[in-house]
């Protein structure tokens, strides 16, 4: 059995660790690229959301590298994510590929379904072994998430633009190579020190912008054309709540006593949206309400045709909380130059607003 799992940001480091610990033969697909997208676009209905296309393209690339077992989210969720696995299985079989699709139930007992899926592909390894491999995988992702939060702070302040991003890329490789908890701890320590040693501009006064929206396009930099790096270059400190380690904590109930950020967001969104609409739409509205006082602006990332985020996008302009929102629709037509121009205009607006010390009236895109 040769197992594969599609890319989403640096999640692959955890998946790689998990399968190595479990002795699973793993085919890592190529990183998401223009090729992934063009393969996907040829074989997807055009109206489907971009995460569907990227994951389908990545599956094609993995199958071409010899994978015969694919892992994908499934289940009966509110948005179409729950149907991805069936649709992709159908599309790939139509293309002549011979493989098995193992579906992760995202709406039922999440922790149990996730562990069962990994157990199944590891030839029914003992539960204890699956659990310990899973914990190690999450630990790797959590270290990278913590480092990325630091990177968000360094980027807008660094004198030589690009240092923080380069250090983070090295950290991803180092975390991947870490063979145990001690080595992982050393990676965290070393790369924290490297980030702390980056020369900063003492006069920097970064704007605070929250990046929110649909999970996949927030976490996969290729799909949002590195929006956080671009914001950093423009002197913006990015704040974001969406991290894989955070999702596993709250969605998989690994932290039942912790403060659930999502519960706070749902409460904040209540006056405008009182129920889950699927995906991350409810949370996006909540972020605008909850963080209107501690942020200068919001960048809202939404995949083209994503129903939950379209609902959020339409509600955001009418909330009484006054904070500029730039909605960026992520699809295969998106271009870097267009994105940069929009970000520059948005950041310029935020700066003038901050300088004026008052709230300007902003038109929502
Ligand atoms: S949340 Fe939106 S983009 Fe994500 S799977 Fe659902 S419909 Fe597609």
User: How many Å lie between the centroid of ligand 1 and the Cα of residue 49?
Assistant: 6
CA of 281 to the centre of ligand 1 (A): 9
Mean pLDDT, the chain, integer? 91
pTM for this prediction: 0.92
CA 83–ligand 1 middle distance (angstroms): 10
For atom 7 of ligand 1, the residue with the nearest CA is 306
Same-domain status, 216 and 175: no
The closest residue, in CA terms, to atom 2 on ligand 1 is: 306
Distance separating alpha carbons of residues 125 and 324, to the nearest angstrom:
51
Residues 9-49: tens digit of each pLDDT? 999 999 999 999 999 999 999 999 999 999 999 998 888 89
pLDDT at residue 107 tops 70: no
**What confidence tens digit (pLDDT) does each residue in 217-275 have?**
999 999 999 999 999 999 999 999 999 887 776 565 555 544 578 889 999 999 999 99
| Range list of β-strands (E), 247-311 | 297-303
pLDDT at 112: 80
- Spatial separation of the C-alpha atoms in residues 51 and 70, rounded to whole Å: 16
Radius of gyration in angstroms for the set of CA atoms belonging to the chain, rounded to a whole number: 20
CA of 31 to the centre of ligand 1 (A): 21
Query: Quick one: pLDDT at residue 162?
Result: 95
| Assigned domain for 267 exists | yes
Please check whether residue 130 lies inside any domain of the structure. no
Q: What percentage of the chain carries pLDDT values higher than 90?
A: 76
The best mutation among 306, 310, 311, 331 to test binding of ligand 1, ranked by most ligand atoms within 8 Å of the C-beta, falls on 306
Examine the domain organization and report whether 115 and 240 are in the same domain. no
Q: Is 325 in the pocket of ligand 1 (CB under 6 A)?
A: no
**Is there a single domain that holds both residue 320 and residue 357?**
yes
Tens-digit pLDDT profile for residues 54-88: 999 999 999 999 999 999 876 666 787 778 888 99
Same domain, 191 and 305: no
Å from CA of 169 to ligand 1 middle: 28
Query: Cα of 279 to ligand 1 centre, how many Å?
Result: 6
Question: How would residue 361 be classed by pLDDT, with cut points 50, 70 and 90?
Answer: very low
List Cα–Cα distances, 21 to 129, 137, 176, in angstroms: 8, 9, 12
pLDDT reported for residue 195 = 98
Please indicate, yes or no, if residue 365 is contained in any of the structural domains: yes
Q: Looking at the domain assignment, is residue 128 inside a domain?
A: no
What was the pLDDT predicted at 253? Answer: 54
User: Is 246 a pocket residue for ligand 1 (Cβ < 6 Å)?
Assistant: no
Distance of alpha carbon 96 from alpha carbon 128, whole angstroms: 38
User: Treating both helix axes as pointing N-terminal to C-terminal, what angle do 244-251 and 261-269 enclose, rounded to 10 degrees?
Assistant: 90
Counting the structural domains of the chain, the total is: 3
Predicted pLDDT at 88: 94
Nearest to 249 by CA among 240, 262, 238: 262
Nearest ligand 1 atom to the CA of 280 is 1
Which range marks the domain in which residue 73 is found? Answer: 3-123
Query: What band does 299 get if pLDDT is binned at 50, 70 and 90?
Result: very high
Report if residue 17 sits inside a domain.
yes
Contact assessment for residue 65 and residue 39, using Cβ atoms and an 8 Å cutoff? no
Q: For residue 250, what pLDDT is reported?
A: 58
**104-106-108-111 Cα dihedral, nearest 10 degrees:** 70
- Whose Cα sits closest to atom 5 in ligand 1? 81
Please tell me the predicted confidence (pLDDT) of residue 255: 54
> Which of helix, strand or coil describes residue 210?
strand
Residue 310 is predicted with a pLDDT of: 96
Q: Residue 282 pLDDT more than 90?
A: yes
Q: Examine the domain organization and report whether 327 and 303 are in the same domain.
A: yes
pLDDT-based confidence at residue 109 (cuts at 50, 70, 90) = low
Residue 302 CA: nearest ligand 1 atom is 3
Position 263 scores a pLDDT of 87
Asked if 336 and 247 sit in the same domain, the reply is yes
Q: How far is the CA of 215 from the centre of ligand 1 (A)?
A: 8
Ligand 1 site, residue 306, Cβ cutoff 6 A:
yes
Please check whether residues 74 and 186 belong to one and the same domain.
no
205 CA distance to ligand 1 middle (Å): 35
């Amino acid at each position: 059995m040769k197992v594969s799992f599609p890319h989403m940001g640096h999640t692959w480091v955890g998946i790689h660790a998990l399968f190595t610990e479990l002795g699973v033969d793993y085919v890592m697909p190529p990183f998401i690229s223009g090729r992934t997208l063009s393969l996907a676009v040829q074989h997807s209905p055009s109206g489907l959301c971009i995460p569907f296309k990227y994951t389908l393209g990545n599956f094609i690339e993995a199958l071409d590298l010899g994978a015969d077992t694919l892992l994908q989210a499934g289940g009966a969720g509110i948005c179409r994510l729950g149907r991805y696995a069936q649709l992709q299985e159908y599309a790939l079989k139509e293309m002549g590929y011979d493989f098995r699709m193992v579906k992760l139930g995202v709406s039922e007992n999440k922790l149990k379904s996730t562990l069962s899926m990994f157990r199944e592909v590891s030839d029914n390894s003992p539960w204890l072994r699956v659990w310990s491999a899973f914990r190690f995988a999450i630990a790797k992702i959590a270290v990278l998430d913590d480092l990325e939060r630091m990177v968000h702070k360094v980027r807008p302040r660094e004198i030589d633009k690009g240092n923080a991003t380069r250090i983070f890329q090295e950290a991803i490789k180092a975390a991947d190579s870490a063979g145990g908890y001690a080595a992982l701890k050393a990676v965290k320590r070393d790369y924290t020190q490297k980030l702390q040693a980056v020369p900063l501009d003492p006069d920097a006064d970064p704007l605070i912008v929250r990046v929110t929206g649909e999970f996949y396009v927030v976490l996969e930099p290729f799909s949002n054309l590195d929006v956080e790096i671009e914001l950093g270059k423009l002197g913006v400190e990015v704040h974001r709540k969406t991290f894989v380690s955070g999702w596993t904590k709250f969605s998989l109930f690994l932290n039942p006593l912790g403060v659930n950020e999502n519960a706070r967001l749902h409460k904040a969104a209540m006056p405008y949206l009182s129920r889950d609409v699927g995906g991350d739409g409810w949370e996006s509205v909540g972020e605008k309400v909850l963080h209107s006082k501690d942020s200068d602006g919001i960048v809202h990332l939404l995949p083209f045709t994503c129903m939950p985020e379209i609902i959020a996008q339409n509600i955001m302009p009418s909330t009484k909380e006054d904070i500029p929102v730039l909605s960026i629709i992520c699809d295969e037509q998106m271009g870097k130059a267009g994105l940069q121009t929009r970000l520059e205009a948005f950041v310029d607006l935020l700066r003038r607003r901050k300088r004026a010390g008052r709230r300007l009236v902003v038109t929502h895109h």
